[in-house]
Amino acid sequence: MKKEASPVSGSGVLRWWLLLSIVLAATTACARSMRSISFPLDLFRPENTSAEELSTSTLEPFQPVTPEEPVMKPVRITVVYNNIAGNPDLETDWGFSAYIETGDEVILFDTGTNGEILLRNMEKLGLDPTSVDYLVFSHLHNDHIGGTAALLSTGVQPPAYVLDNFPQGFQQLLAAITEVVVVDSPLEITDGVYTSGPVTGEITEQALVLETSQGLVVVTGCAHPGANRMVAQAKEAVAGEVYLVMGGFHLGGASATTVEGIIADFRDMGVQNAAPSHCTGEAAMLQIQEAYGEHYLSSGLGAVIEIP
Ligand SMILES: [Zn+2]
Ligand SMILES: [Zn+2]
């Protein structure tokens, strides 16, 4: 059925504005299902339109509305489990875990090897295990998932993000307590927090990617597929400049040439700061420190990285 474009009465136009604003808001919301976007009704109210203009206006003036850039939440990352020593009040042990606060949400990335140590370190740092909203595991090795049972024994039930190669027993342990998400592609976990999706290799692994006011922060567990490949996939999954890559880079015993290649790839991809720890290896950490200079961040146990 074809509608008459004009002449149209003032109240008729207002009805059109209202109807089309609802349709536009609904279709835009569907198209961008990753985020929820609400449009203030004022945007659709033709306040500056005179009665005369209203009586002759057609439907052409409708333009897609670009929502304002979202304000980035501050991010605070605390290394709560690491074999690289830092805060002497904490218990250093082989493994990795990072407690990440974004605005009012908490993501625990990996749980280290020993849950008792994990919980004691968190307690000494004043971090509440029951405040964890999301649990994300980098890969299946015990030094990244070993503390999980103790964490869940606190009563916390955060949805857990695993990969399909994780042991069935571990997935069942999680599923008995909470929701398990088997990640098979990049996805947004919560506002501004993503997984790179599985990066395939000898040991398939996922990186956590955070959108911050300074750019992307990529957190790796061991980076078995290669820290350079983890960053490349993170950048593909979440468009943006990489402000920081941190975590284990799995370069223990790697040749200086191999490490040089990783640094060169980081530079090519515009990685601005590096904070290697855990399984990176002492020699590789030194090499990265020399290359990055003041853009090398020390990230041993208890380190806190804050991005406003
Ligand atoms: Zn590993
Ligand atoms: Zn590891």
pLDDT digits (tens, 9 = 90+) for 202-216: 999 999 999 999 999
Identify the helix (H) or strand (E) that includes residue 187: strand 187-190
CA 81 to chain centre: 19
Q: How far is the CA of 80 from the centre of ligand 1 (A)?
A: 17
Lowest mean pLDDT among 3-7, 86-90, 204-208, 300-304: 3-7
Sheet holding 273-277, edge to edge: 187-190, 193-195, 208-212, 215-220, 242-248, 273-277
Q: How far is the CA of 71 from the centre of ligand 1 (A)?
A: 35
Largest CA distance in the chain: 79
**Taking CA 102 as the corner, what is the angle to CA 164 and CA 180, rounded to the nearest 5 degrees?**
20
Is 239 a residue whose pLDDT tops 80?
yes
Higher pLDDT, 90 or 70: 90
Q: Which amino acid is at 154?
A: T
C-alpha torsion angle, residues 121, 122, 126, 131 (rounded to 10): 180
Q: How confident is the model at residue 72 (pLDDT cuts 50, 70, 90)?
A: confident
Q: How confident is the model at residue 49 (pLDDT cuts 50, 70, 90)?
A: very low
Sheet holding 96-102, edge to edge: 180-182, 160-162, 134-136, 105-109, 96-102, 75-82, 304-307
Place of tokens 């040089």: 260
The phi and psi torsions of 170 (rounded to 5 degrees) equal: -70, -45
Q: Kindly report the average pLDDT of the chain as a whole number.
A: 85
Strand, helix or coil for residue 182: strand
Q: What's the pLDDT score for residue 185?
A: 97
Q: How far is the CA of 162 from the centre of ligand 1 (A)?
A: 14
Q: How far is the CA of 211 from the centre of ligand 2 (A)?
A: 24
What protein residues have CB closer than 5 angstroms to ion ligand 2?
143, 222, 279
Is 260 a residue whose pLDDT tops 90?
yes
Is 31 a residue whose pLDDT tops 80?
no
Please classify residue 102 by burial: count the beta carbons closer than 10 Å to its beta carbon, then call 0-12 exposed, 13-18 middle and 19+ buried: buried
List, for residues 120-152, the tens digit of each pLDDT value. Answer: 999 999 999 999 999 999 999 999 999 999 999
Rounded to an integer, the average pLDDT of 50-73 is 57
Ligand having the closest approach to the CA of 202: 1
Q: What's the pLDDT score for residue 62?
A: 55
Q: How far is the CA of 144 from the centre of ligand 1 (A)?
A: 7
Q: Which of 297, 138, 306, 277 is nearest to 212 (CA)?
A: 306
Lowest mean pLDDT among 28-42, 92-106, 179-193: 28-42
Q: What's the pLDDT score for residue 181?
A: 98
Q: What's the pLDDT score for residue 55?
A: 46
Is 11 a residue whose pLDDT tops 70?
no
Place of tokens 């400049």: 241
Q: How far is the CA of 241 from the centre of ligand 1 (A)?
A: 26
Q: How far is the CA of 111 from the centre of ligand 1 (A)?
A: 13
Ligand having the closest approach to the CA of 113: 2
Which pTM was predicted? Answer: 0.78
Is 194 a residue whose pLDDT tops 90?
yes
Ligand having the closest approach to the CA of 221: 2
Q: How far is the CA of 230 from the centre of ligand 1 (A)?
A: 14
Higher pLDDT, 167 or 7: 167
Is 106 a residue whose pLDDT tops 80?
yes
Is 258 a residue whose pLDDT tops 80?
yes
Domains of the chain, CATH where assigned = 1-68 (no CATH), 75-307 (3.60.15.10)
Ligand having the closest approach to the CA of 96: 2
Is 252 a residue whose pLDDT tops 70?
yes
List, for residues 269-281, the tens digit of each pLDDT value. Answer: 999 999 999 999 9
Q: How far is the CA of 279 from the centre of ligand 1 (A)?
A: 8
Q: What's the pLDDT score for residue 206?
A: 98
Is 2 a residue whose pLDDT tops 50?
no
